[in-house]
Structure 1
């Protein structure tokens, strides 16, 4: 009986090591794929599509004429957060599907574009797939959030953070949590997973970071 117990215990340990090893390998694969996707996205930004996608001349905080919305999964802008260091500059993609977020932080379709009056809302992974928002919980009020888009740079500053239920979609409204209210300033919202539940080890809530442009 003791021998059987030892063998069973050894089998459990081996199984645990195999599961951990597989998870580590899968995370490595995801990170490698993220790196390749980011390189491709940077190439897109370096060689933008011309013609019908040619941007209008921007004036103040809005564009002078309506422009086509960006294509799903295409490179949109570059995000810089000085608190995270000079090496932090992920390319934001258009869209927030799982496939989109595997490439980089994703812009919520239909939300404002960078620098516009409204809410420029972006989601990103906290763990895996490059972990672009891993340190989002370290941001504090006043931290800069810099978005480079179509030759212009827009700087927002953090105004607050909150942990919410995943079903709370009001956080990405044009005026967060105020349905139907017309926006009067350019805002940014970053969303990601909050800390794991200490009991289930699952990500059950979302971390929200809000910011506003203060240079217009």
Structure 2
């Protein structure tokens, strides 16, 4: 005979409470909660600002390359027109206007060439290296001194140059090849590096060497020092003889077509 044990019904109060959760008590904010929340929000804002600044810095370094290329193309066209006018005696010698084209410079070691403009103000050298006013002309005795920003496409890789590397200047009639004789890092106040003869100040009034000096900021992305390249002219070649062999593969597109 089977027997069963019947479970007495649970009290009504327990049946009513079964399946319900007690509502948690809401904890009031403490000073610590407010401080932690403020720090978290502030940290997120700093992180976002850091990312934006990084993108801005990258644009400043790399983003302007397209503008530089466009400006260089326009300057190259103006320089060719200027040289044509000189050959036809339509242009008389006068004080060059700031920001106008002065010469073309080639540095085969870093596979770059630029139009060098007249002047070294921030506006003058925004997209080009600039020729120091009053310094020698290309190929002349004295110091053809040039300043350029430490940006990609301009003087970013200037520190890759070493003794014996070649730099070529082109004017309306000739190519002038200079060989690097020294590189150095200086402070911004050492302006004597662009003197007519920075190696022998006694010759500044009557320089006996044809020198070339390039100046740019150092280190990269900073402005606390200057990186300097000194070079001395080793040879010149009339443009009627074609491009020098050391830059033959760097001929501008219009020259190749001609």
Q: By the TM > 0.5 criterion, same fold? A: yes
Could you list the per-position Cα deviations for residues 42-80 of structure 1 after superposition, in whole angstroms to 9, with x for gaps in the alignment? 1101211455635xxxxxxxxxxxx43422111111111
How many residues are paired up? Answer: 196
Q: Which moved more, 1:108-117 or 1:175-184?
A: 175-184
Report whether the alignment pairs 1:18 with 2:52: yes
Q: Name 2:155's counterpart in structure 1.
A: 133
C-alpha displacement of 1:24? 3.4
Q: Name 1:148's counterpart in structure 2.
A: 170
**Unpaired segments ≥5 residues, structure 1:** 55-66
Q: Name 1:83's counterpart in structure 2.
A: 109
Q: Name 2:42's counterpart in structure 1.
A: 8
Larger proportion of helix: 2
Q: Name 1:57's counterpart in structure 2.
A: none
Distance 2:235 2:77 in 1: 30
Q: SS at 2:123's partner residue?
A: helix
Give the alignment partner of residue 192 of structure 2, picking from 165, 170, 192.
170
Quickly say closer, same or farther: Cα 1:39–1:185, change in 2 above 3 A.
same
Scaled by the length of structure 1, the TM-score of the pair is: 0.82
Q: SS at 2:208's partner residue?
A: coil
**Unpaired segments ≥5 residues, structure 2:** 1-32, 237-258
Distance 1:11 1:142 in 2: 51
Q: SS at 1:176's partner residue?
A: coil
Q: Name 1:114's counterpart in structure 2.
A: 138
Distance 1:154 1:95 in 2: 21
Give the alignment partner of residue 123 of structure 2, picking from 99, 113, 128.
99
8 Å contact 2:110–2:160 — kept in the other structure?
Answer: no
The structure showing larger relative contact order (alpha-carbon pairs under 8 Å, at least 6 residues apart) is: 1
Give the alignment partner of residue 225 of structure 2, picking from 196, 205, 208.
205
Scaled by the length of structure 2, the TM-score of the pair is: 0.70
Distance 1:71 1:52 in 2: 17
Q: Name 2:13's counterpart in structure 1.
A: none
Quickly say closer, same or farther: Cα 1:160–1:207, change in 2 above 3 A.
same
